[in-house]
Each structure stands twice: as structure tokens, then as C-alpha cells.
């Protein structure tokens, strides 16, 4: 039986404001932490603080048009014999004008829409695994620089059930356990702005991705526990 698999990619280097993370705290004063804090100090607007019942598939689903599919098939053919590191590939080395236009629309959905988008869909069934990862990396790179998500510098991370049991030093992402809500790359000096995932093999059951709206959580926190949120 082939295990379901996806890859995880983090994009961007924050919003230009230094975020103090746990590994920094031993080296800075409380005053520095307060000065560097970028906590949102007002209620988020309704367009951002949505609930599940407020949105519809058209708000987040982006259909991949035929010209982009043709462009990506051409890209896959060009990459079919590439055996080098995926992270060394750059979009500028390929003709991706239609894909760049599509990803600009995706970026707009993320920045000015509801904050997430689903590409429907990349034809990965036509490509081998290495090519699929390379295509996903290049497509994601059109949103911004791809940053590391492990101390060793890994920028494309496999999420798959390896049969490992949960224990010390074992990531949930290599087990068959569900993931709790979390922030990817929260340990980085500047938290990535976008998390991109590409499904390479869908699970026979389970494996659904959940999305939580932190803007709505922020508003609820202000309403119920205002003492925890600065005015």
C-alpha cells in the first residue's frame, strides 16, 4: 500500500517587522520585546474575520486555466531529466508567464481576500514525484522567496505516514496522527507569510486539511478577554 503524501513549502520572510521568537529571548530585554511586538491592536474587519458559514467555494477555489496547464506540462517535460536540488530552480529560468499571472491572482486572494486559496488543480498524475515537487516549488516561488522550515535548511518538506510512532523528536507529519492547529515556521526570526501544500497522493480516508481564521479568533479574544489584547 502506498502511503498518502504531500509536500510543505513556506513563503516569504515576514512583513518587514522583526518578530522576537523563543530562541531570541535570552539575548534581548523586556523593553526590546515590547518595542518589537507587532500585535494587532484593534478589531479585524468583517471581510477578514469571517466564519465558515460566511464564505463559499468561489471565495477560495481558483481553477487552473488551460493555458497554464499547457505551460506546466511543458515545464514538467523540461524538468523530467533534472536530477539536481529542487531548491536551486528559479522561475526566471522558464517560460511561466501564464502561470505567473495566475499566481498573482492567487496572491491577491491571500492578501486581500479571505487569506487562503486552493488551486484546482495541478495535473500531478501525469508527472513523476520528483517532477511534481519541482513544479510545485517553482509555482510556489512565484508568490515570493521560499524559506527554510527546518534548522538544516530544508525548504521542501515531505508530509507522509512513514509508520513511525509518536515519540521524542518525532514530527506528527511523518505519522498517521492528526495535526492540531499550529503556525508553521513560528520558530523563525520572521514567521513566513504563506504556507503552501501540494497533495501528491491522496489518502484513502482522512487527511482533510482544516483552516482556522485567526482574525476571527482575535476578535473573539478581544470581546471575551479584552485584558489580554492591547487597546
Mean predicted confidence (pLDDT) in 201-206: 79
Name the residue ranges covered by the structural domains of the chain.
60-143
Nearest to 142 by CA among 181, 186, 105: 105
Question: Which of helix, strand or coil describes residue 202?
Answer: coil
Q: What angle do CA 184, 140, 126 make, to 5 degrees?
A: 115
Identify the band that residue 92 occupies on the pLDDT scale cut at 50, 70 and 90: very high
C-beta separation of 96 from 142 below 8 A: yes
For residue 173, with 0-12 CB atoms within 10 Å meaning exposed, 13-18 middle and 19 or more buried, which class applies? middle
pLDDT in tens, 98-110: 999 999 999 999 8
Q: How far apart are CA 1 and CA 20, in angstroms?
A: 44
Average pLDDT, the chain: 80
Amino acid at each position: 500500500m502506498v502511503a498518502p503524501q504531500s509536500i510543505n513549502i513556506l513563503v516569504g520572510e515576514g512583513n518587514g517587522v522583526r518578530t522576537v521568537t523563543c530562541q531570541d529571548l535570552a539575548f534581548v530585554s523586556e523593553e526590546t520585546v515590547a518595542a518589537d511586538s507587532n500585535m494587532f491592536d484593534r478589531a479585524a474587519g468583517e471581510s477578514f474575520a469571517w466564519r465558515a458559514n460566511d464564505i463559499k467555494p468561489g471565495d477560495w477555489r481558483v481553477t487552473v486555466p488551460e493555458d497554464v496547464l499547457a505551460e506546466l506540462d511543458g515545464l514538467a517535460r523540461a524538468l523530467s531529466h533534472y536530477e539536481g536540488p529542487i531548491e536551486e530552480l528559479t522561475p526566471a529560468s522558464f517560460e511561466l508567464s501564464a502561470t505567473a499571472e495566475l499566481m498573482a491572482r492567487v496572491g491577491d486572494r491571500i492578501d486581500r481576500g479571505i487569506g487562503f486559496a486552493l488551486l484546482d488543480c495541478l495535473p500531478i498524475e501525469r508527472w513523476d514525484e520528483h517532477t511534481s515537487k519541482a513544479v510545485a516549488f517553482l509555482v510556489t516561488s512565484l508568490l515570493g522567496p521560499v524559506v527554510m522550515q527546518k534548522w538544516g535548511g530544508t525548504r521542501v518538506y515531505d508530509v507522509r505516514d512513514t509508520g513511525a510512532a509518536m515519540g521524542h523528536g518525532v514530527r506528527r507529519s511523518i505519522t498517521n496522527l492528526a495535526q492540531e492547529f499550529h503556525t508553521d515556521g513560528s520558530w523563525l526570526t520572521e514567521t513566513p507569510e504563506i504556507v503552501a501544500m501540494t497533495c501528491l497522493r491522496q489518502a484513502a480516508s482522512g487527511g482533510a486539511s482544516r483552516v482556522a481564521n485567526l482574525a476571527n479568533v482575535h476578535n473573539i479574544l478581544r470581546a471575551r478577554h479584552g485584558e489580554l489584547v492591547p487597546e
